[in-house]
Protein backbone atom coordinates (compact mmCIF):
# COMPACT_ATOMS: atom_id res chain seq x y z
CA UNK A 1 0.00 0.00 0.00
CA UNK A 2 3.03 2.30 -0.20
CA UNK A 3 2.26 5.06 -2.70
CA UNK A 4 5.76 6.34 -3.31
CA UNK A 5 9.20 6.34 -1.83
CA UNK A 6 10.29 9.15 0.41
CA UNK A 7 13.24 11.40 -0.15
CA UNK A 8 15.37 9.38 2.25
CA UNK A 9 15.12 6.22 0.14
CA UNK A 10 15.99 8.07 -3.02
CA UNK A 11 18.94 9.71 -1.33
CA UNK A 12 20.36 6.46 -0.01
CA UNK A 13 20.12 4.86 -3.44
CA UNK A 14 21.92 7.87 -4.89
CA UNK A 15 24.99 7.17 -2.76
CA UNK A 16 25.12 3.48 -3.52
CA UNK A 17 22.83 2.30 -0.74
CA UNK A 18 25.30 3.15 2.02
CA UNK A 19 25.00 5.87 4.58
CA UNK A 20 28.04 8.15 4.75
CA UNK A 21 30.10 7.90 7.87
CA UNK A 22 30.14 10.95 10.11
CA UNK A 23 33.25 11.63 12.18
CA UNK A 24 32.48 12.30 15.81
CA UNK A 25 34.17 15.68 15.62
CA UNK A 26 31.72 16.86 12.96
CA UNK A 27 28.42 15.57 14.35
CA UNK A 28 27.35 19.05 15.40
CA UNK A 29 27.47 20.26 11.79
CA UNK A 30 30.45 22.55 12.34
CA UNK A 31 33.43 22.72 10.04
CA UNK A 32 33.43 21.26 6.55
CA UNK A 33 29.92 20.15 5.42
CA UNK A 34 29.36 16.49 4.68
CA UNK A 35 27.83 15.41 1.34
CA UNK A 36 24.14 16.31 1.44
CA UNK A 37 21.72 13.39 1.21
CA UNK A 38 18.93 15.36 -0.43
CA UNK A 39 18.68 14.61 -4.19
CA UNK A 40 18.14 18.29 -5.02
CA UNK A 41 21.29 19.34 -3.23
CA UNK A 42 23.82 17.45 -5.35
CA UNK A 43 24.69 20.41 -7.62
CA UNK A 44 28.26 21.64 -7.21
CA UNK A 45 30.38 24.23 -8.92
CA UNK A 46 33.21 22.75 -10.99
CA UNK A 47 36.38 22.52 -8.95
CA UNK A 48 34.68 23.51 -5.70
CA UNK A 49 36.47 22.17 -2.67
CA UNK A 50 33.48 22.04 -0.38
CA UNK A 51 30.04 20.58 -1.00
CA UNK A 52 27.00 22.57 -0.10
CA UNK A 53 24.77 21.32 2.69
CA UNK A 54 21.02 22.00 2.41
CA UNK A 55 18.93 23.23 5.33
CA UNK A 56 17.24 19.90 6.06
CA UNK A 57 20.63 18.28 6.72
CA UNK A 58 22.11 20.92 9.01
CA UNK A 59 20.88 19.22 12.19
CA UNK A 60 23.28 16.30 11.87
CA UNK A 61 25.44 16.57 8.76
CA UNK A 62 25.50 13.48 6.56
CA UNK A 63 22.78 11.52 8.38
CA UNK A 64 19.32 10.50 7.21
CA UNK A 65 16.33 12.51 8.28
CA UNK A 66 14.17 10.06 10.22
CA UNK A 67 10.47 10.14 10.99
CA UNK A 68 9.37 10.93 14.50
CA UNK A 69 9.39 7.72 16.62
CA UNK A 70 5.88 6.38 17.01
CA UNK A 71 4.41 8.65 14.33
CA UNK A 72 3.22 5.66 12.28
CA UNK A 73 1.42 4.19 15.29
CA UNK A 74 -0.15 7.59 16.02
CA UNK A 75 -1.42 7.74 12.44
CA UNK A 76 -2.89 4.25 12.93
CA UNK A 77 -4.75 5.30 16.09
CA UNK A 78 -6.02 8.44 14.35
CA UNK A 79 -7.19 6.33 11.40
CA UNK A 80 -9.00 3.95 13.75
CA UNK A 81 -10.71 6.86 15.48
CA UNK A 82 -11.87 8.40 12.19
CA UNK A 83 -13.25 5.08 10.95
CA UNK A 84 -15.07 4.55 14.27
CA UNK A 85 -16.64 8.01 14.21
CA UNK A 86 -17.76 7.42 10.61
CA UNK A 87 -19.44 4.18 11.76
CA UNK A 88 -21.14 6.07 14.59
CA UNK A 89 -22.50 8.66 12.14
CA UNK A 90 -23.75 5.80 9.96
CA UNK A 91 -25.89 4.56 12.84
CA UNK A 92 -27.17 8.10 13.43
CA UNK A 93 -28.56 8.38 9.90
CA UNK A 94 -32.25 7.55 10.06
CA UNK A 95 -33.81 7.20 6.60
CA UNK A 96 -30.89 6.44 4.26
CA UNK A 97 -30.26 2.88 3.07
CA UNK A 98 -26.77 1.45 3.53
CA UNK A 99 -26.42 1.01 -0.25
CA UNK A 100 -27.05 4.73 -0.76
CA UNK A 101 -24.45 5.59 1.87
CA UNK A 102 -22.02 3.34 0.02
CA UNK A 103 -22.76 5.19 -3.23
CA UNK A 104 -21.88 8.52 -1.61
CA UNK A 105 -18.69 6.98 -0.22
CA UNK A 106 -17.72 5.80 -3.73
CA UNK A 107 -18.22 9.33 -5.09
CA UNK A 108 -15.77 10.67 -2.48
CA UNK A 109 -13.30 7.93 -3.37
CA UNK A 110 -13.47 8.79 -7.07
CA UNK A 111 -12.99 12.50 -6.40
CA UNK A 112 -9.87 11.72 -4.35
CA UNK A 113 -8.31 9.17 -6.73
CA UNK A 114 -8.97 10.90 -10.08
CA UNK A 115 -6.25 13.59 -9.65
CA UNK A 116 -3.78 10.87 -8.63
CA UNK A 117 -4.52 8.81 -11.74
CA UNK A 118 -3.94 11.87 -13.91
CA UNK A 119 -0.76 12.83 -12.08
CA UNK A 120 0.81 9.35 -12.19
CA UNK A 121 -0.48 8.73 -15.76
CA UNK A 122 -1.68 5.23 -14.87
CA UNK A 123 -4.68 5.27 -17.22
CA UNK A 124 -8.16 4.23 -16.18
CA UNK A 125 -8.21 0.55 -17.19
CA UNK A 126 -4.82 -0.79 -16.15
CA UNK A 127 -2.67 -3.45 -17.86
CA UNK A 128 -4.65 -5.84 -20.08
CA UNK A 129 -3.58 -8.95 -18.21
CA UNK A 130 -4.59 -7.47 -14.84
CA UNK A 131 -8.01 -6.01 -15.65
CA UNK A 132 -9.95 -9.12 -14.66
CA UNK A 133 -8.23 -9.09 -11.27
CA UNK A 134 -8.96 -5.38 -10.87
CA UNK A 135 -12.61 -5.98 -11.76
CA UNK A 136 -13.05 -8.63 -9.08
CA UNK A 137 -11.07 -6.52 -6.61
CA UNK A 138 -13.54 -3.69 -7.22
CA UNK A 139 -16.58 -5.96 -7.11
CA UNK A 140 -15.58 -7.76 -3.90
CA UNK A 141 -14.28 -4.61 -2.22
CA UNK A 142 -17.43 -2.59 -2.89
CA UNK A 143 -19.60 -5.54 -1.83
CA UNK A 144 -17.68 -5.71 1.44
CA UNK A 145 -18.33 -2.01 2.02
CA UNK A 146 -22.08 -2.29 1.37
CA UNK A 147 -22.45 -5.35 3.61
CA UNK A 148 -20.54 -3.88 6.54
CA UNK A 149 -22.56 -0.66 6.30
CA UNK A 150 -25.72 -2.76 6.48
CA UNK A 151 -24.32 -4.62 9.50
CA UNK A 152 -23.55 -1.33 11.25
CA UNK A 153 -27.14 -0.21 10.76
CA UNK A 154 -28.90 -3.35 12.10
CA UNK A 155 -26.63 -4.58 14.91
CA UNK A 156 -24.61 -3.04 17.76
CA UNK A 157 -21.64 -0.99 16.60
CA UNK A 158 -19.12 -2.90 18.71
CA UNK A 159 -20.41 -6.31 17.53
CA UNK A 160 -20.08 -5.45 13.84
CA UNK A 161 -16.64 -3.86 14.38
CA UNK A 162 -15.34 -6.93 16.21
CA UNK A 163 -16.44 -9.27 13.42
CA UNK A 164 -14.51 -7.22 10.85
CA UNK A 165 -11.30 -8.03 12.74
CA UNK A 166 -11.51 -11.66 11.67
CA UNK A 167 -10.22 -10.46 8.29
CA UNK A 168 -6.54 -11.47 8.85
CA UNK A 169 -7.65 -15.02 9.67
CA UNK A 170 -9.72 -15.33 6.50
CA UNK A 171 -6.90 -13.75 4.49
CA UNK A 172 -4.46 -16.44 5.66
CA UNK A 173 -6.99 -19.16 4.86
CA UNK A 174 -7.75 -17.84 1.36
CA UNK A 175 -4.06 -17.25 0.63
CA UNK A 176 -3.44 -20.91 1.52
CA UNK A 177 -6.23 -22.06 -0.81
CA UNK A 178 -5.57 -19.82 -3.83
CA UNK A 179 -1.94 -18.71 -3.52
CA UNK A 180 -0.59 -21.93 -1.98
CA UNK A 181 0.89 -20.00 0.94
CA UNK A 182 1.80 -21.89 4.09
CA UNK A 183 -1.02 -22.52 6.58
CA UNK A 184 0.30 -23.81 9.90
CA UNK A 185 -1.25 -25.12 13.11
CA UNK A 186 -0.89 -21.61 14.52
CA UNK A 187 -3.09 -20.28 11.71
CA UNK A 188 -5.64 -22.98 12.48
CA UNK A 189 -5.60 -22.03 16.16
CA UNK A 190 -6.14 -18.35 15.33
CA UNK A 191 -9.02 -19.34 13.03
CA UNK A 192 -10.69 -21.27 15.85
CA UNK A 193 -10.28 -18.26 18.15
CA UNK A 194 -11.94 -16.03 15.55
CA UNK A 195 -14.84 -18.44 15.01
CA UNK A 196 -15.35 -18.65 18.78
CA UNK A 197 -15.49 -14.86 18.99
CA UNK A 198 -18.09 -14.65 16.22
CA UNK A 199 -20.22 -17.34 17.91
CA UNK A 200 -20.14 -15.41 21.19
CA UNK A 201 -21.33 -12.30 19.38
CA UNK A 202 -24.00 -13.99 17.26
CA UNK A 203 -25.21 -16.18 20.18
CA UNK A 204 -27.26 -18.70 18.17
CA UNK A 205 -30.34 -19.92 20.09
CA UNK A 206 -29.39 -23.60 19.83
CA UNK A 207 -26.36 -22.80 22.01
CA UNK A 208 -27.54 -19.86 24.13
CA UNK A 209 -31.29 -20.44 24.32
CA UNK A 210 -34.12 -18.36 22.94
CA UNK A 211 -33.73 -15.47 25.42
CA UNK A 212 -30.90 -13.53 23.77
CA UNK A 213 -30.08 -10.17 25.40
CA UNK A 214 -27.95 -7.19 24.40
CA UNK A 215 -29.02 -6.96 20.75
CA UNK A 216 -30.62 -4.14 18.77
CA UNK A 217 -34.09 -4.76 17.36
CA UNK A 218 -35.14 -8.31 16.60
CA UNK A 219 -32.89 -11.35 16.73
CA UNK A 220 -33.60 -11.91 13.02
CA UNK A 221 -32.00 -8.56 12.19
CA UNK A 222 -29.11 -9.43 14.48
CA UNK A 223 -28.50 -12.67 12.56
CA UNK A 224 -28.78 -10.86 9.22
CA UNK A 225 -26.26 -8.28 10.41
CA UNK A 226 -23.89 -11.01 11.61
CA UNK A 227 -24.10 -12.83 8.27
CA UNK A 228 -23.55 -9.54 6.42
CA UNK A 229 -20.51 -8.69 8.58
CA UNK A 230 -18.95 -12.14 8.09
CA UNK A 231 -19.59 -12.04 4.32
CA UNK A 232 -18.12 -8.54 4.22
CA UNK A 233 -15.02 -9.76 6.03
CA UNK A 234 -14.57 -12.71 3.64
CA UNK A 235 -15.03 -10.39 0.65
CA UNK A 236 -12.50 -7.96 2.09
CA UNK A 237 -10.03 -10.79 2.69
CA UNK A 238 -10.53 -11.90 -0.92
CA UNK A 239 -9.53 -8.42 -2.14
CA UNK A 240 -6.29 -8.67 -0.13
CA UNK A 241 -5.51 -11.97 -1.84
CA UNK A 242 -6.23 -10.44 -5.26
CA UNK A 243 -4.04 -7.42 -4.51
CA UNK A 244 -1.27 -9.77 -3.39
CA UNK A 245 -1.71 -11.76 -6.61
CA UNK A 246 -1.47 -8.63 -8.74
CA UNK A 247 1.56 -7.39 -6.80
CA UNK A 248 3.25 -4.09 -7.62
CA UNK A 249 2.38 -4.22 -11.32
CA UNK A 250 -0.73 -2.11 -10.69
CA UNK A 251 -0.67 1.28 -8.96
CA UNK A 252 -2.54 1.55 -5.69
CA UNK A 253 -4.63 4.45 -7.00
CA UNK A 254 -5.86 2.31 -9.90
CA UNK A 255 -6.98 -0.38 -7.46
CA UNK A 256 -9.02 2.18 -5.50
CA UNK A 257 -10.42 3.57 -8.78
CA UNK A 258 -11.88 0.19 -9.74
CA UNK A 259 -13.25 -0.14 -6.21
CA UNK A 260 -15.03 3.22 -6.43
CA UNK A 261 -16.32 2.99 -10.01
CA UNK A 262 -17.64 -0.57 -9.80
CA UNK A 263 -19.05 0.14 -6.36
CA UNK A 264 -20.90 3.24 -7.57
CA UNK A 265 -22.35 1.44 -10.60
CA UNK A 266 -23.45 -1.49 -8.44
CA UNK A 267 -24.97 0.77 -5.80
CA UNK A 268 -26.96 2.81 -8.33
CA UNK A 269 -28.34 -0.35 -9.99
CA UNK A 270 -29.23 -1.89 -6.61
CA UNK A 271 -30.95 1.29 -5.44
CA UNK A 272 -33.17 1.48 -8.53
CA UNK A 273 -34.01 -2.25 -8.29
CA UNK A 274 -34.95 -1.88 -4.61
CA UNK A 275 -36.61 1.50 -5.29
CA UNK A 276 -34.65 2.99 -2.40
CA UNK A 277 -32.94 5.90 -4.18
CA UNK A 278 -33.84 9.20 -2.54
CA UNK A 279 -32.02 12.24 -1.26
CA UNK A 280 -31.90 12.51 2.54
CA UNK A 281 -35.05 14.16 3.82
CA UNK A 282 -33.34 16.51 6.25
CA UNK A 283 -30.19 18.62 6.41
CA UNK A 284 -28.83 16.59 9.33
CA UNK A 285 -28.65 13.37 7.31
CA UNK A 286 -27.01 15.18 4.40
CA UNK A 287 -24.32 16.57 6.68
CA UNK A 288 -23.74 13.12 8.16
CA UNK A 289 -23.37 11.62 4.68
CA UNK A 290 -20.70 14.19 3.80
CA UNK A 291 -18.93 13.60 7.11
CA UNK A 292 -18.97 9.83 6.59
CA UNK A 293 -17.29 10.29 3.21
CA UNK A 294 -14.69 12.72 4.57
CA UNK A 295 -13.94 10.66 7.69
CA UNK A 296 -13.64 7.44 5.69
CA UNK A 297 -11.29 9.15 3.25
CA UNK A 298 -9.24 10.62 6.11
CA UNK A 299 -9.04 7.22 7.78
CA UNK A 300 -7.68 5.66 4.59
CA UNK A 301 -5.12 8.44 4.13
CA UNK A 302 -3.74 8.15 7.68
CA UNK A 303 -3.68 4.35 7.48
CA UNK A 304 -1.71 4.55 4.23
CA UNK A 305 0.71 7.08 5.77
CA UNK A 306 1.15 4.77 8.76
CA UNK A 307 2.07 1.86 6.49
CA UNK A 308 4.54 4.07 4.66
CA UNK A 309 6.65 4.80 7.75
CA UNK A 310 5.92 1.82 10.04
CA UNK A 311 6.09 -1.95 9.68
CA UNK A 312 2.82 -3.70 8.86
CA UNK A 313 2.88 -5.86 12.02
CA UNK A 314 2.73 -3.03 14.59
CA UNK A 315 0.17 -1.20 12.45
CA UNK A 316 -2.09 -4.26 12.32
CA UNK A 317 -1.85 -4.69 16.09
CA UNK A 318 -2.48 -1.01 16.83
CA UNK A 319 -5.48 -1.03 14.49
CA UNK A 320 -7.31 -3.12 17.08
CA UNK A 321 -7.97 0.27 18.68
CA UNK A 322 -10.98 0.26 16.32
CA UNK A 323 -12.63 -2.15 18.75
CA UNK A 324 -11.83 0.02 21.78
CA UNK A 325 -13.21 3.14 20.10
CA UNK A 326 -16.33 1.24 18.98
CA UNK A 327 -17.08 0.16 22.57
CA UNK A 328 -16.51 3.69 23.91
CA UNK A 329 -18.63 5.42 21.25
CA UNK A 330 -21.41 2.85 21.62
CA UNK A 331 -21.61 3.46 25.37
CA UNK A 332 -21.29 7.27 25.24
CA UNK A 333 -23.46 8.16 22.24
CA UNK A 334 -25.75 5.18 21.64
CA UNK A 335 -26.49 4.34 25.31
CA UNK A 336 -25.96 0.66 24.59
CA UNK A 337 -23.91 -1.30 27.09
CA UNK A 338 -22.16 -4.33 25.54
CA UNK A 339 -22.84 -7.69 27.14
CA UNK A 340 -20.15 -9.90 28.61
CA UNK A 341 -20.67 -12.23 25.66
CA UNK A 342 -19.68 -9.41 23.32
CA UNK A 343 -16.65 -8.56 25.47
CA UNK A 344 -15.58 -12.21 25.45
CA UNK A 345 -16.06 -12.44 21.70
CA UNK A 346 -14.06 -9.24 21.22
CA UNK A 347 -11.16 -10.63 23.27
CA UNK A 348 -11.14 -13.83 21.21
CA UNK A 349 -11.19 -11.98 17.89
CA UNK A 350 -8.58 -9.39 18.92
CA UNK A 351 -6.31 -12.16 20.22
CA UNK A 352 -6.76 -13.99 16.92
CA UNK A 353 -6.05 -10.98 14.67
CA UNK A 354 -3.14 -9.79 16.84
CA UNK A 355 -1.63 -13.27 16.90
CA UNK A 356 -1.88 -13.53 13.12
CA UNK A 357 -0.32 -10.09 12.67
CA UNK A 358 2.56 -10.81 15.07
CA UNK A 359 3.28 -14.14 13.42
CA UNK A 360 3.32 -12.62 9.90
CA UNK A 361 5.50 -9.78 11.16
CA UNK A 362 8.06 -12.16 12.69
CA UNK A 363 8.10 -14.21 9.50
CA UNK A 364 8.81 -11.10 7.41
CA UNK A 365 11.63 -10.03 9.77
CA UNK A 366 13.15 -13.53 9.62
CA UNK A 367 12.96 -13.55 5.83
CA UNK A 368 14.56 -10.08 5.68
CA UNK A 369 17.49 -11.25 7.84
CA UNK A 370 17.97 -14.31 5.63
CA UNK A 371 18.06 -12.12 2.54
CA UNK A 372 20.71 -9.92 4.14
CA UNK A 373 22.87 -12.98 4.79
Of the candidates 215, 226, 212, 216, the residue with the CA atom closest to the CA atom of residue 349: 226
Q: What is the mean pLDDT of residues 244-263?
A: 81
Half-sphere exposure of 27 (CA within 13 A, CB side): 4
Share of the chain above pLDDT 70, in %: 77
Residue 121 lies in a domain: yes
pLDDT band at 234 (very low <50, low <70, confident <90, very high): very high
Number of structural domains (the chain) is 1
Q: Given a cut of 50, is residue 32 above it in pLDDT?
A: no
> Over the stretch 38-84, which tens digit does the pLDDT of each residue have?
433 343 333 443 344 444 443 444 444 555 767 888 988 999 999 99
pLDDT at 67: 57
Report the Cα 196 to chain-centroid distance in Å: 24
Q: Rounded distance, CA 14 to CA 82, Å?
A: 38
pLDDT at 227: 92
Q: Rounded distance, CA 107 to CA 296, Å?
A: 12
Q: Which domain holds residue 366?
A: 71-372
Residue 20 lies in a domain: no
Residue 41 lies in a domain: no
Residue 346 lies in a domain: yes
Residue 79 lies in a domain: yes
Amino acid sequence: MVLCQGGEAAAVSAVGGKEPEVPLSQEDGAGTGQPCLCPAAGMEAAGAEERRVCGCCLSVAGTKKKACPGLGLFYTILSAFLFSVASLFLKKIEDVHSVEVSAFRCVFQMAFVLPGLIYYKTGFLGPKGKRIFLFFRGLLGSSAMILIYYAFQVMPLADATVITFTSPVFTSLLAWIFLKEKYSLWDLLFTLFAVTGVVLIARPPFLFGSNVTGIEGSYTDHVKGTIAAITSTVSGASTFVIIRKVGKSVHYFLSIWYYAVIGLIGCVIALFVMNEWSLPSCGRDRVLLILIGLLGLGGQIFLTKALQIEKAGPVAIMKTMDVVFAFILQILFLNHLPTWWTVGGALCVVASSSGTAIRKWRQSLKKAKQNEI
